[in-house]
Amino acid sequence: MEKQTSFCIIGGGGFRAQYYLRIAAALPERFQVCGMVVRDETKGRAMERQWNVRTYRTLEQLLQHEHPDFAVVSVSWAACQYYLLELAERGIPALAETPPAPDLAGLRMLHEKLTERGARVQVAEQYHLHPIQLARAAVIQDGAIGAVNQATVSISHLYHGVSLIRKMLGVTFEDLTIKAMSFESDWVAGPTRSGPPAEENIIRSRRDLAWLDFGGKLGIYDFTKDQHRSWIRSNHLSVRGERGEIFDDRLSLLKDFRTPLHLQFKRINKGELENQEGYFLQGIIVGERWMYENPFAPARLYDDEIAIAHCLQNMAVYAAGGPGFYSLAEASQDHYIGMLIEQAIQSGETVVSERQPWAGET
């Protein structure tokens, strides 16, 4: 039987923190939330009633009563860095939300005071851990489409999109040049974090486009604010290699130079039609091969929750002395490139990256 991991959450029970609570409730044999730091007492009491979890007003109070394997830091950009420093002083591994600091100065400070001093910190970047992204990555790693040289990502904003581009291209801290532009148009406003729209509302939207040249490898970033929640805009990802291409749920490759193959990434869900095994994602199959099998089945989690559950599982291994999975250095690089994209859009000029002090860290 797998060992249960105990973790605490530092955060006021906001949008992100509740992901971890839902996942722990769905997978109690794997995860236990041993306590939360909620500074507002009224909010804390409400979280206790809703989630049956103990809350404390300060980290010091929590640690007097609880002994977590690691801490999830789910607070604002500005507050995150201070909690990470305090946890490092106490020797407690930390899983930080994205990004771990608001600006370049903050990222450099965290590198100096955390990474260089051996603090055990990972970052909860989940997009590359979505089932479809893990299936695509497995196809790439198998060499089915040959050496990859291009990736287009239109899924989420800035550092999230950059992370996917890097993962698909197989780049880490390489220097790059960026050209970018934006385009504005009207559309009907869709859902937000607060829920569906209450009425029809035409709003102005901005589409950001950026070309990331890593020298022999090209990443294309394409994102319109709130497109990932929109009912009338689609997400898109494509990866091109020497011998084939991934285009959303399609895989085109060569059996030999005369024989093209056209396959699909097929989601296999239980609980559909007459199936009575429960409703959950079993995995993703391409042709005759499973390219992703859901390790959290039969828990009823949607894809973003599955991805964050992967973060938690990887963090449990890391906190127990295992390998890292998305380091502070990687998160800093993705946020840095995201800031360069914004700079290129605003200036209209080609922007060239500079080697940062975390480059080469893992």
**Which candidate, 96, 46, 104, places its Cα nearest to that of 75?**
96
Q: Please report how the helices 15-26 and 303-319 are oriented relative to each other, as an axis angle in degrees rounded to 10.
A: 80
**What is the tens place of the pLDDT at every residue in 103-125?**
999 999 999 999 999 999 999 99
Six token digits for residue 72: 């999830």
- Say how far apart CA 29 and CA 18 lie, in whole Å: 18
Token pair of 149 as six digits: 């040289």
Amino acid 195: pLDDT: 85
| Contacts made by residues 20-23, CB under 8 angstroms, sequence distance 24+ | 20/72, 20/74, 20/308, 20/312, 21/51, 21/53, 22/305, 23/301, 23/305, 23/308, 23/309, 23/312
Across the chain, mean pLDDT equals 94
CA distance 111 to 107: 6
Which pLDDT does position 137 carry in this prediction? 98
Q: Is the pLDDT of residue 219 over 80?
A: yes
Domain residue ranges in the chain: 5-124, 130-299
Residue 174 phi/psi, 5-degree rounding, is: -65, 150
Pairing of strands 351-352, 289-293: unpaired
In this predicted structure, the answer to whether residue 1 has a pLDDT above a threshold of 80 is no
Residue 304 has pLDDT above 70, yes or no: yes
> Which of 212, 208, 201, 207 shows the shortest CA–CA distance to 185?
207
194 or 24: which carries more pLDDT confidence?
Answer: 24
pLDDT exceeds 60 at position 361: no
Q: How much is the average pLDDT of 35-56?
A: 94
> pLDDT tens, 56-94?
999 999 999 999 999 999 998 878 889 999 999 999 999
Average pLDDT over residues 270-290: 94
Both tokens of 98, joined, read 């994205």
Q: pLDDT tens digits for 328-338?
A: 999 999 999 99
Domain range 130-299, its CATH number among 1.10.8, 3.40.50, 3.30.360, 3.90.1750: 3.30.360
Q: Is the pLDDT of residue 362 over 70?
A: no
Query: Does position 187 have pLDDT exceeding 80, yes or no?
Result: yes
Work out the pLDDT band at 193, boundaries 50, 70, 90: confident
Whole-angstrom Cα distance, residue 80 to residue 279?
36
Written out in words, the top-level CATH class of the domain with range 5-124 is: alpha beta
Residue 248's pLDDT is 97
Among the listed ranges 93-97, 192-196, 287-291, 292-296, which one has the minimum average pLDDT value? 192-196
Phi, psi of 39, deg, nearest 5:
-65, -35
Q: Report the percent of the chain where pLDDT is more than 70.
A: 98
